[in-house]
Amino acid sequence: MKKLINSSGQIRQQLLAGLTYTYDDTLTWHTKTGIVTKKMISKNKVVLISGGGCGHEPAHVGYIGENMLDCAVMGAIFEPPASSEILQAIEETYNGQGTLLIIKNFEKDLASFLEAERLAKAKGLAVSHVIVDDDCSIESGSFKKRRRGVAGTVFVHKILGAAASQGKSLDELQALGEQLIPLIKTLGVAFSPASPIGIIPQQYELAEDEMYFGIGIHGEPGYRIETMQSSERIAIELVNKLKQQYSKKDLIQAAVLVNGLGNIPLLELGVFMNDVQQLMDIEDIQVVYKRMGNFLTAYNTNGLSLTLLAIKDDKWLDYLRVPTDAFAWR
Amino acid sequence: MKKLINSSGQIRQQLLAGLTYTYDDTLTWHTKTGIVTKKMISKNKVVLISGGGCGHEPAHVGYIGENMLDCAVMGAIFEPPASSEILQAIEETYNGQGTLLIIKNFEKDLASFLEAERLAKAKGLAVSHVIVDDDCSIESGSFKKRRRGVAGTVFVHKILGAAASQGKSLDELQALGEQLIPLIKTLGVAFSPASPIGIIPQQYELAEDEMYFGIGIHGEPGYRIETMQSSERIAIELVNKLKQQYSKKDLIQAAVLVNGLGNIPLLELGVFMNDVQQLMDIEDIQVVYKRMGNFLTAYNTNGLSLTLLAIKDDKWLDYLRVPTDAFAWR
């Protein structure tokens, strides 16, 4: 796969320059770092910070805005930012109301973000975190759940972001996150593997007519390779597997996210969404909120993921529906 | 390239079902046709209709909304809609203020839309049109300009859409379009060719390390194949070629559109936008409006286009900046 870049070592710098130039009405970039913040951070609410490696655009910079994140800290491609940069972000955005870190469940991400939290707490700052682990793929050949943090993270950004704006405390936001996250489930499928410019070796190959269920967002292998199928058949696999993660009584109302992994045409996401709609009708699951687009991508991957969120509290739906000016969720 | 569809004959139907399900708060689909309209069409303004083949998503359905289009009429993949469907759209949305058709400059599109206009006029309806021909690619091996209608069409949707909402008459909108369109210039580059499922034969091949300048949005060949270069070198080629299309005095203030052709990561558009910014600074062209994303795509193409609009009248900038709820331009 060809890459439109300059040099791989300059990607983070040049990407953040390009993004914050384009959205200079709402975003401020702390030049030469991976720190991007909202232009004006409110003094009257808990600060929300997320982040991770580059290569998942528009995540997470695209979710900075009213009723979403205050700050995103981005590392090199598929590498989390250093704890020192996360600490810097916590300190620079600190407003006395406390700071919540929203972390995707990957070993390296946890190490960086939790170390930054520890250092900030040692300085007397009120910092807490939630860990998003929505991926319900299983290891191929085992029953080990992956529980990586993937596209469902964007629902967490929005719901906690809106709740923070409405005055929830740091403890309340953490509790809300812990109530919400187990009800978010995601499963992905790739039609071509991620190929991140020699930073991480390509982890699997697919033949011209093959696809891979259960892949991760950094090119991690999935649980089953199959011959390429129709959109409808793929939707059946994903909806069935996701549905099994819930008790029947939990999955009455759902929010649905059809997420492109970046190198997939919107035409195909549209066709797939139509298949998902029909399956949700058959399953008698009421879709009360839906989104379709490239929201949390995997650099140079042709594929998609489907996320369900079981809406257990109407307030969550209100939080989802409150408008935002975050560029990727307007 | 793998395709996530069901059957190629069902694409239009299933895509429009999926899109209008996702955006059912703002869009109405006239089931089984290619006609999608705004949920509520104002009685007090000229109606704006555009359209063309599917395979360019989010165009044109994504531009239906306040201050943009009232209606899009979509054909099969890479095929314009039949004149009978365009006529139906004109009649169903007619409000007595007149209807303006925004047509991309392709032979088949012109034939369908102008025949519909003729039929509507024969029924006594006030219908007019503008033809967008922003592509300044030249035929390989000749000096023949292509002048196809490509990504710059979205600027026309927005500027004429906002002007219509502010009460401009049908004649005034057509005159504004004719003043505007010659100042919109676009040039594209592909890293992989479009491959539209056996509807249109693939028109060129590229080796693993090749790219093609000046390609069209239906997989048409461009003007020069070169070895893949850096983002910066590609930006230099596109900016230089575009700049030459203007007289120096016209290109003082510009709107910039970095448009992905669909199968390209946002990461790469971000890196490219940073290169464009630096070139515009060097050229002393003031960028007063900018957009980056997948706005008018070419099914299954990895590539991008760059569009400039020379802002000759501050009013155009006001029109660009007025908010819209069109899902692809929010």
Exposure letters B22-39 (e unless 16+ CB within 10 A, then b): bbeeebbbbeebbbbbbe
Which one, of B47, B33, B127, B9, lies nearest residue B82 by Cα? B33
**B264 with A263: Cβ contact below 8 A:** yes
Please say if the pLDDT value at position B197 is more than 90: no
Q: Do B300 and A265 touch (CB under 8 A)?
A: yes
Contact B4 A294 (CB under 8 A): no
- Residue B143 scores a pLDDT above 80: no
Residue B80 is given by DSSP the state P
Residue A139: per-residue pLDDT:
80
A104 — phi, psi (to 5°)?
A: -80, 140
Specify the pLDDT at position A265.
96
- Are B2 and A228 spatial neighbours (Cβ–Cβ below 8 Å)? yes
Q: What is the pLDDT of residues B111-130, one digit of tens each?
A: 999 999 999 999 999 999 99
Average confidence score pLDDT of chain B: 96
Rounded to the nearest 10 degrees, the angle between the axes of helix B314-321 and helix B153-165 is: 90
Give the model's confidence band at A140: pLDDT under 50 very low, under 70 low, under 90 confident, else very high: confident
pLDDT of residue A200: 78
- Residue A298 with chain B: CB contacts under 8 Å: none
Are A266 and B58 within 8 A, CB to CB? yes
Give mean pLDDT, residues A142-160. Answer: 92
Which residues of chain A make contact with B238, given a CB cutoff of 8 A? Answer: none
Rounded to 5 degrees, what are φ and ψ at B282? -60, -40
Q: Closest CB to A271: pick one of B4, B264, B266.
A: B4
Q: Do the Cβ atoms of A72 and A50 come closer than 8 Å? A: yes
Give tens-digit pLDDT for A78-137: 999 999 999 999 999 999 999 999 999 999 999 999 999 999 999 999 999 999 999 999
Cα A297–Cα B151–Cα B16 angle in degrees, nearest 5: 65
Nearest CA in chain A to B10: A271
> Do the Cβ atoms of A218 and A194 come closer than 8 Å?
yes
Residue B205 in tokens: 């091949």
With CB atoms and an 8 Å threshold, state whether B18 touches A273: yes
What is the predicted pLDDT for the residue at B25? 96
Query: Helices A266-282 and A231-243: crossing angle, nearest 10°?
Result: 50
Over chain A, what is the mean pLDDT? 96
- Split at pLDDT 50, 70, 90, the class of B327 is very high
Burial of B46 (0-12, 13-18, 19+ CB in 10 A): buried
B119 Cα to chain A: minimum distance (Å): 31
Residue of B1, B2, B321 to mutate for A, most A C-beta atoms under 10 A: B2
pLDDT at B282 over 80: yes
Walk me through the domains of chain A, giving residue ranges and CATH numbers. 9-181 (3.40.50.10440), 183-321 (3.30.1180.20)
Q: Is the ipTM of this complex over 0.95?
A: yes
Q: Report pLDDT for A142.
A: 75
Q: Quote the tokens at residue A112.
A: 């960086």
Cross-strand pairs, A259: A293, A305
Q: Which of B261, B78, B10 is nearest to A274 (CA)?
A: B10
Please state which of the ranges A4-8, A270-274, B161-165, B326-330 shows the lowest mean pLDDT.
A4-8
State the burial class of residue B314 (Cβ atoms within 10 Å of its Cβ: 0-12, 13-18, 19+): exposed
Cβ contact A77:A128 at 8 Å = no
- The answer to whether residue A146 scores a pLDDT higher than 90 is no
pLDDT category at B146 given cuts 50, 70, 90 is confident
Residue A56 bears catalytic tag: yes
Instruction: State yes or no: is A30 an active-site residue.
Output: no
Quote the pLDDT of residue A248: 86
Residues 6+ apart with CB under 8 A from B117: B90, B101, B127, B128, B129
pLDDT 10s digits, B298-324: 999 999 999 999 999 999 999 999 999
User: How deeply is B160 buried, as exposed, middle or buried, from its count of CB atoms within 10 A (0-12, 13-18, 19+)?
Assistant: buried
* SS3 category, B156: helix
pLDDT for A163-204, tens place per residue? 999 999 999 999 999 999 999 999 999 999 887 777 778 899
Q: Are A54 and B267 in contact (CB < 8 Å)?
A: yes
CB contact under 8 A, A274 and B21: yes
Considering only residues A146 and B47, tell me which one the structure prediction assigns the higher pLDDT. B47
Asked whether the predicted pLDDT for residue A311 surpasses 80, the reply is yes
**Predicted local confidence at residue B199, as pLDDT:** 77
- φ, ψ dihedrals at B71, nearest 5°: -160, 145
Q: Which of A4, A77, A277 sits opposite B272 (nearest CB)?
A: A4
pLDDT at A197: 77
Q: What is the dihedral of CA A233, A271, A269, A324, to 10 degrees?
A: -120
**Chain A residues in contact with B229 (beta carbon < 8 A):** none
Residues of B in contact with A330 (CB under 8 A): 330
Cα B158 from chain centroid (whole Å): 11
Contacts of A274 in chain B (CB under 8 A): 14-15, 17-18, 21
The continuous run of DSSP H or E covering B108 comes out as helix B107-122
Which of A30, A129, A157, A218 is the catalytic position?
Answer: A218
Count CA within 13 A, CB hemisphere, residue B291. 22
Cβ contacts of A226 on chain B, cutoff 8 Å: none
Q: Confidence band (pLDDT; 50, 70, 90) for A61?
A: very high
Residue B194 is predicted with a pLDDT of 84
Q: Closest Cα of chain A to B175: distance in Å?
A: 31
Burial class (CB in 10 A: 0-12, 13-18, 19+), A287: middle
Q: Which helix (DSSP H) or strand (DSSP E) does residue B72 occupy?
A: strand B71-77
What's the gap in Å between the CA of A237 and the closest CA on chain B?
14
Q: How many other C-beta atoms are found inside a 10 Å radius of the C-beta of residue B76?
A: 18
Q: Which pLDDT score, from 0 to 100, does residue A2 have?
A: 80
The span from the CA of A254 to the CA of A286, in Å, is: 6
- The model's pLDDT over A107-120, given as tens digits with 9 standing for 90+, comes to 999 999 999 999 99
Residue-level pLDDT at B235: 98
As a whole number, mean pLDDT of residues A311-327 equals 98
Q: What whole-number distance in Å separates Cα of residue A310 and Cα of residue A153? A: 14
Tell me if A6 and B300 make a contact (CB, 8 A cut-off). no
